[in-house]
Amino acid sequence: MQTEYIDLKNVIDEEKLREAAIAIKNGDLVLFPTETVYGLGANGLDEDAVKKIYKAKGRASDNPLILHIAKIEMIDILVENINEIEHKLIENFWPGPLTIIFKRKPIVPDIITAGLDTVAIRMPKNIIARKLIEYSGKPIAAPSANISGKPSGTLLKDIKEEFEGKVRYMIDGGKVDIGLESTVVRVINNKVHILRPGRITKENIESIGYEVVIEKQILGEYDGKEKVLSPGIKYKHYAPDTKTVLVYSKENEKMVSKIKELALEKKAVILCRSENQSQYRDIETLNMGESLEEISSNIFMLLRKADKLEKELILIEGVEEEGLGLAIMNRLIRASGHNYIKL
């Protein structure tokens, strides 16, 4: 398939966007930006179109997809009923980086939900994503745009090669804002369970008055036996090919010395905060930034960059598992294949 590239980095070309929306309607794949990460989109009500997503990504068929909507009215055809807490979550956090799991209606194809009786829905904030959905008139199924197991795409240039010839259009919207996939939640017995942490934090949800439960697999290892609320947890994700080790200590000096020690034995590159960069003198470093927001927007791009350097080892400085730090550590622990040294 011939892939056409649409550059909307600086201005939105309405005509081109409508062409891409027609491709969605016709059952083709379109790669597009959202505020979290790039998505690999297809008409979520067209089973054959959705099959192409699984094929292009090499994704396991028991890992369900998120349906993206542009207007709240779109939700009524997809979900059974919305309770008060779900209404409040929608009111407070949509459009934005929050995915909510609802009881699904029969119109949602099994291939979207991997046979579950629930469906994941999100209303993105990114204007290109919103218009693409609106112009197509369909809920768009879209996983993160990356080959399964690899870091999600936060810049089109990082994923262009992976999907060249597999999608009808690639829409370039520049570097995404957030850089981590949406927070995935499900309301169970009046509590909000976080199945995947993201930019909407536990603290954000508590601030609107609800009790939040963080699923324990988020920072731990999946043992292959336990029942999981979110099938995505079972799979390897975000991982570079190079061996990767994550190190964290509340005491910065302790973390830095451990990383230096590990870097002695092998040809290494270090992903570190700007404030620590000068401490690693002779070792190559990549700057993750200062604030948690900066770090979250940079990590997937830097994991890809580090992998290309062909070192023997990628070493990463961890952050405190609080607020947005929880989502960052969830991705980093998985990126390192659970090679996590906590001091």
Interaction site with ligand TXA (CB under 6 A) = 34, 36-37, 39, 63-66, 99, 101, 113, 116, 118-120, 122, 142-144, 181-182, 184, 195-196, 229-232
Q: With respect to ligand TXA, which residue has the nearer C-beta, 280 or 300?
A: 300
Q: How many CA atoms lie within 13 A of 72 on its CB side?
A: 10
Instruction: Choose one: 81-89, 108-116, 139-147, 242-250; the region binding Mg ion (CB under 5 A).
Output: 139-147
Q: With respect to ligand TXA, which residue has the nearer C-beta, 114 or 341?
A: 114
Question: Reduced to 3 states, what is the DSSP secondary structure of residue 189?
Answer: coil
Structure tokens at 205: 């949800």
CB of 250 to ligand TXA, least distance (A): 29
- Contact between 154 and 138 under an 8 Å Cβ cutoff? The reply is no
Residue nearest Mg ion, CB atom distance: 144
- Contact between 95 and 125 under an 8 Å Cβ cutoff? The reply is yes
d(CA 87, CA 192): 12
Q: With respect to ligand TXA, which residue has the nearer C-beta, 210 or 222?
A: 222
| CA nearest neighbour of 119 among 139, 138, 90 | 139
Say whether residue 144 binds Mg ion (CB under 5 A): yes
Q: Which of residues 165-204 bind Mg ion (CB under 5 A)?
A: none
DSSP 246: E
Cα 93–chain centre separation:
17
Instruction: Choose one: 45-53, 120-128, 136-144, 317-325; the region binding Mg ion (CB under 5 A).
Output: 136-144
CB of 181 to Mg ion, least distance (A): 6
Name the residue with tokens 């009923």.
81
Count of residues engaged in binding Mg ion, rule: CB under 5 A: 1
Q: Which residues bind Mg ion (CB under 5 A)?
A: 144
